[in-house]
Amino acid sequence: MRRKVEIASLIVMFMAVVITFWPQSSNKVTNYKPNSSLTYSGLLKKGKFSGNGTLTFKNGDRYQGNFKDGQFDGKGKFTSVAKWSYEGEFSKGKPNGKGKLITVSDKVFSGRFVNGGFEK
């Protein structure tokens, strides 16, 4: 009997540690419309876009990729209805890191982007 109580106590302590240190949960949403000009499907954390998701703007522009604190952050792809796109790394909402921009006239800029600008 004592052995069973010890095992049960260990399980309860383990679960308490797991619950205490478990990362804050994110909520998965589909077709979330925070305002009339945006539609979002993906994860929300503390009410902000977080993790992997898709953001579609009223005009049809679309971003698919990672978010952090409500901004494009990590790998993603932005596609404009004006027929240009950027695929690569983002930081704080801007292209930052390795990426590829294809312009409306199909000119390709591939390489490093810093704070939204292209560097060779």
In a domain, 18, yes or no: no
**Separation of alpha carbons 89 and 113, rounded Å:** 8
Question: Block means of pLDDT (10 residues each) for the chain, length 120 residues?
Answer: 54 48 65 90 92 96 97 97 97 96 96 92
Number of domains present in the structure of the chain: 1
By the 10 Å C-beta count (0-12 exposed, 13-18 middle, 19+ buried), 106 is classed as exposed
**Separation of alpha carbons 34 and 1, rounded Å:** 56
- Map tokens 């009339």 to a residue: 36
pLDDT of residue 120: 72
Write the CATH number for 86: 2.20.110.10
**Separation of alpha carbons 32 and 40, rounded Å:** 5
Domain that holds residue 42: 25-119
In a domain, 98, yes or no: yes
In a domain, 53, yes or no: yes
Can you give the length of the chain in residues? Answer: 120
